[in-house]
Amino acid sequence: MRSLAAPCFFLFVTFARAGELPIFDAHLHYSHDAWEVVPVEEVISILRKAGVKRALVSSSGDEGQQRLYRAAPELIVPSLRPYRRRGEIGTWFRDESVIGHLEEHLKKNRYAAIGEYHITGEDVDLPVPRRMIELARQYGLFLHSHSDADAIERQFRQWPQARILWAHSGFDRPEVVAEKLRKHRNLWCDLAFRTDHASGGKVDPAWRKVFLEFPDRFMVGTDSFTPERWHYVPEHAAWSREWLADLPREARESIAWKNGERLFGSLPRRSD
């Protein structure tokens, strides 16, 4: 079967790439426990076969996306997480040692963003997140924030010029997302790990209104929060192309890749 299937697959890939819509995947992780399951070369090959033009990638411990970035700098945009290992999602914002981790890596490497980090409500005003946001300001970095609308508001209060990528659009309703986008012109949203905005190749009417009002503010993303989800990247890209085809060309291209490319296509210069 394998020898028969391989050439067919090759033909499919060649055909699919000819006119396919490029994808900027704005939400990927490649943490330490993913390296064995999906080695670097396989990750790069998965992204290329999926027609992903570029991807914003972070990892607990930071080494994961550095390995990917070294292997394919034209494909990977590194983002720095405040996590060193799994299990810090609910504790990092009270853990002062996180700051040393961030400072050390910011001095050593180049990033486009800090994140993705998980925070809700007033926890973002604690000293550790505050310092993290100061570091993002100092280094001119985006914040990739998995949070509720309240924590987004609080971050803009701390730093009115912040540029925030709201992970999963906060898992909030389209009306709330639209309201926040109207209020904050430096807020962008990823659609990772949500499916309510489209089904069967049709965009949900409430979401369509928001996409057409703010075509420059959305991005798609797979969210490989477990290593196995790397194998889902091509399917996610194909599913995204399917529902994006239901939007006018300009909005479709912006959300698929142009927004990500415009915002993250080149890394900021080091401030030191």
Q: Which residues of this chain interact with Zn ion, rule CB under 5 A?
A: 116, 223
Q: Which residues of 98-132 are buried (b: 16+ CB within 10 A; e: fewer)?
A: bbebbeebbeeeebbbbbbbbbeeebbbeebbbeb
CB of 106 to Zn ion, least distance (A): 20
CB of 144 to Zn ion, least distance (A): 8
Helix (H) or strand (E) holding 79: strand 76-80
Residue placing its CB nearer to Zn ion in the complex, 148 or 223? 223
Residue placing its CB nearer to Zn ion in the complex, 144 or 252? 144
Contacts of residue 6, defined as CB under 8 A and 6 or more positions apart, other chains included, come to none
Residue placing its CB nearer to Zn ion in the complex, 187 or 203? 187
Residue placing its CB nearer to Zn ion in the complex, 61 or 215? 61
**Helices (H), ranges, the chain:** 2-19, 40-49, 63-71, 97-108, 127-139, 149-158, 174-183, 205-213, 233-244, 249-253, 259-264
How many other CB atoms sit within 10 Å of the CB of residue 214?
Answer: 21
CB of 9 to Zn ion, least distance (A): 29
CB of 169 to Zn ion, least distance (A): 13
Residue placing its CB nearer to Zn ion in the complex, 59 or 254? 59
Q: What span, in angstroms and rounded, lies between the C-alpha atoms of 129 and 54?
A: 28
CB of 189 to Zn ion, least distance (A): 14
CB of 138 to Zn ion, least distance (A): 24
Residue placing its CB nearer to Zn ion in the complex, 62 or 223? 223
Note if the bond before 116 is cis, omega within 30 degrees: yes
